[in-house]
Amino acid sequence: MSQFRSSFAAFLCLSFAFCSFQSLAKTVSATSPDGSLKVEVNDQGNSAHYRVMKGNEEVVANSQLGLVFAKLPEFVDGFKIKTHKTSNANSVWQQPWGERKQVVDHHNELLVTFSFQGEKSAVNRSKHEFSVRFRVFNDGIGFRYELPKLGDVDQVTIVDEQTEFRLNPESTSWWIPARGWNRYEFIYKKTPIKELDRVETPFTARLPSGTHISIHEAALVDYAAFSLDQRRDGVLKTDLYPWYDGTKVHAKLPMKSSWRTIQIGNKAVDLVNSSLILNLNEPNQLGDVSWVKPGKYIGIWWAMHLAEKTWGSGEKHGATTDETKRYIDFAARYGFDGVLVEGWNIGWDGDWFFNGDLFSFTQNYPDFDIKELAKYAKSKGVKLIGHHETSGAVTNYRNQMQDALDLYQKLGVEQIKTGYVADGGRIKRVDDKGIVRHEWHHGQFMVNEYLYNIKEAAKRKISINTHEPIKDTGLRRTYPNWISREGARGQEFNAWGSPPNPPEHTVVLTYTRMLSGPMDFTPGIFDVAPKGLYEWNRVNTTVAKQLALYVVLYSPIQMAADLPRNYSKDLAAFQFIQDVPTDWEESIALDGEVGEYVVFARKERDGSDWYVGAITDVQGRKIELNTDFLDEGATYEAQIYQDGKDAHWKHNPYPVDVKRIKVNKNDKMMLHLAAGGGTAIRFKKL
Ligand code: NOJ
Ligand code: CA
């Protein structure tokens, strides 16, 4: 109704210069520090709205704000701007680990308080007010709801959020569906916005002007994640994930929502270079986190996905003492920090996907001597990486979590990969009355459950790599032991997915999923077609592209995912995986287009080498690389790993040429990427 009123008022205003209704509306605004972006906030139609401008371009047209409650009247109609306050901030903070060390947080803030000034009702509404805090950066905006105590009311149940993002419906967008059974693990689609239905975030779009935007959220704590639901063409509305009973958020007052974010750039790579989401998170709450260690790992993992081994017990059991020792030896020989072992604990026999309640997190299978292996790993200077698959039975995990974490701590395990394999909406919890409830991975209950695990792990100096996670919203800033997560289709789909990831998958991920934070994609498959070139399940890239992914898909922990025997066959190419760091001083996305290609340059943390990763979709490409990011006055040996002669993702994925040339910052290099290929370069400072 309010939408109709405000558009009707605007219509009167334009058509008849009759603006009495409109003129009653108040507008306040804030611009970005460089003046390029502007947020206008108004109470058109007695209702909270905002609009985002980039110069003269309307990026987000006047869009509704508001909250709907279970037991209170809606905070939508009848609200007018009561006060507004502006402020600004300009600081630099450091990441303990990350894609860059220094992060600049430069923004202007506008805090707008709306109070109820509508018609009298039976309910006393004199104390009904809410604020929206906007932060305007040079690379986009963020805003969140803030609710004070409302008179006597000190808790609320939110049943809907009315936040809209009104976008040009003809914009090109890249998206995965929301509320699907496979959570975030879908193949991205590219369509005009008007053709989508309900989508997950980060949601990336290119407006007809060429401006790129991405909608997501930051600092998601004790609130429900949202997806975007298209109403009228181009009108995307936040759709909060519900609890089992349909309510969305239960909150004590005062409360604040997570930040709604809109990253905005002229070019696709501007989105990738933005630190807006991290900037909207709270600083590190864990104090000294020198125990959180980036690094590289191998694991008893791909063999199970290829069905050479099993998680469960029996002849093909993967996690045996002997097999784990072989992996530890390989890790020690080639400089890996850790060995992940999946399937070591009781509970995998039968259909583990549906048997989460059977998992023990402390009892090992008899052929896996966990104490002996912890000792063996230590003697070789390698860490065992723990694994907790819950299959979504989170109460079973919660009941054992303290013991499970204590056990790993005692054994010197510093990192655990967790897993929440369960269909969307099928997380199983048992409430305090003993009743089974099914929840979404992205609802408020699980938002809190994932974070509980992170905090409990932090108490024991353990870092967590969450699979089937809640989407990343930058909480690694506040909890740096949340070291990585999955949250999209990873490499595993290439072993058994129907279909496997298409060649363009990773050049879409770069501009979508990766905007939210690190991903444990697990690159580095050398035997890209173990069942034959034309089989359904294979890796749809060249081997050189697998190398480039270590630079492109940022994660402070990177797996060398293939079987050791496949690396032993190609030690020349394997050298790049051994050399590439996982912690960076600086990262720059130099060039690219969503779903087509990307070129990254990253400088190693506490070192002097630079690395470049370039990857492409099905198009082969020549890309000119300007090396002006290199240090002034220095000479480098460029160790280039590129697609060999006639390489092609489908017909000829294996050839990798390794060559070395001398370069400095004034040089230009021509990169030759095969169809579905890539180039990886180490610039070793001489
Ligand atoms: C799904 C995870 O993404 C994968 O890496 C893991 O191997 C399986 N679950 C088993 O936990
Ligand atoms: Ca997964």
- Dump pLDDT digits (tens) for 143-171: 999 999 999 999 999 999 999 999 999 99
The alpha carbon of 300 and the centre of ligand 2 are apart by a number of angstroms equal to 16
Task: Quick: pLDDT tens for 189-210.
Answer: 999 999 999 999 999 999 999 9
CA–centroid distance, residue 422 to ligand 2 (Å): 10
- As a whole number of angstroms, the distance between CA 175 and CA 49 comes to 26
SS3 543: helix
Residue 22: predicted pLDDT: 46
| Closest residue CA from atom 8 of ligand 1 | 419
CA distance 512 to 194: 18
Rounded to the nearest angstrom, the distance between the alpha carbon of 467 and the centre of ligand 1 is: 7
Q: In this structure, which residue's CA is closest to atom 11 in ligand 1?
A: 389
CA of 341 to the centre of ligand 1 (A): 11
User: Is 350 buried (19+), middle (13-18) or exposed (0-12) by CB count in 10 A?
Assistant: exposed
Q: What's the pLDDT at 13? A: 41
Q: What is the pLDDT of residues 57-92, one digit of tens each?
A: 999 999 999 999 999 999 999 999 999 999 999 999
Round to whole Å and give the CA distance between 141 and 54.
Answer: 11
Mean pLDDT computed over 209-233:
98
Residue whose C-alpha is closest to residue 141's, from 231, 207, 216: 216
User: Is residue 446 exposed (0-12), middle (13-18) or buried (19+ Cβ within 10 Å)?
Assistant: buried
295-300/338-341 β-pairing: parallel
pLDDT of residue 24: 75
Q: Is the pLDDT of residue 436 over 90?
A: yes
User: What is the distance of C-alpha 266 from the center of its chain?
Assistant: 22
pLDDT digits (tens, 9 = 90+) for 230-273: 999 999 999 999 999 999 999 999 999 999 999 999 999 999 99
Residue-wise pLDDT tens digits, 579-622: 999 999 999 999 999 999 999 999 999 999 999 999 999 999 99
Residue nearest atom 2 of ligand 1, based on CA coordinates? 467
Reported as a pLDDT band with limits 50, 70 and 90, residue 533 is confident
Residues with CB under 6 A from ligand 1: 301, 342, 389, 419, 421, 467, 486, 492
Q: Given phi > 0 = left and psi -120 to 50 = alpha, else beta, which region is 56?
A: alpha
The predicted structure's pLDDT at residue 14: 41
Contact yes or no for 228/215 (Cβ under 8 A): yes
- Pocket residue to mutate for ligand 1, from 389, 468, 494, most atoms within 8 A of Cβ: 389
Q: For ligand 1, atom 3, which residue shows the shortest CA distance?
A: 467
- Residue 468: which region, alpha, beta or left (left: phi > 0; alpha: psi -120 to 50)? left
Sign of CA dihedral 449, 455, 461, 467: positive
Nearest partner of 319 among 384, 382, 378, judged by Cα: 384
Residue 534 has what pLDDT?
A: 78
Percent of the chain predicted with pLDDT > 70: 97
pLDDT given at position 381: 98
Residue closest by Cα to atom 6 of ligand 1: 419
pTM here is 0.96
Q: Residue 595: left if φ>0, alpha if ψ -120 to 50, beta else—which one?
A: left
CA atoms within 13 A of residue 458's CA, in its CB half-sphere? 20
Q: Which among 305, 344, 385, 421 is the best mutation to test ligand 1's pocket, defined by most ligand atoms within 8 Å of the CB?
A: 421
How far apart are the CA of 342 and the centre of ligand 1, in A?
Answer: 8
Give the E-state strand segments of 119-211 in sequence order.
129-137, 140-147, 155-161, 164-166, 172-175, 189-192, 198-199, 203-206
365 band by pLDDT with thresholds 50, 70 and 90: very high
- The average pLDDT across 202-225 equals 98
What is the Cβ-side half-sphere exposure of residue 503, based on CA atoms within 13 angstroms? 23
Q: Name the nearest CA neighbour of 190 among 553, 505, 521, 539.
A: 505
Residue numbers annotated as active site: 492
Beta bridge partner(s), residue 237: 164, 229
Q: Which two tokens stand for residue 13?
A: 């205003």
For residue 205, the model assigns a pLDDT of 99
Alpha carbon of 346 to ligand 1 centroid (Å): 16
Gap between the Cα atoms of 226 and 285, Å rounded: 25
Q: What is the rounded average pLDDT for all residues in the chain?
A: 96
| pLDDT grade for 531, boundaries at 50, 70 and 90 | confident
Report the pLDDT value the prediction gives residue 8, as an integer from 0 to 100: 46
Which residue is closest in CA terms to ligand 1's atom 7? 301
Q: 544 — alpha (psi -120 to 50), left (phi > 0) or beta? A: alpha
Q: CB of 338 within 8 A of CB of 328?
A: no
Q: In what order do the strands lie in the sheet with 463-466?
A: 482-485, 463-466, 415-419, 383-389, 338-341, 295-300, 557-559
pLDDT at 17: 36
CA 62 to chain centre: 28
Q: Give the pLDDT confidence of 8-56 residue by residue, as tens digits.
A: 444 444 433 333 344 479 999 999 999 999 999 999 999 999 999 999 9
387 CA: nearest ligand 1 atom: 11
Mean pLDDT on 108-134: 96
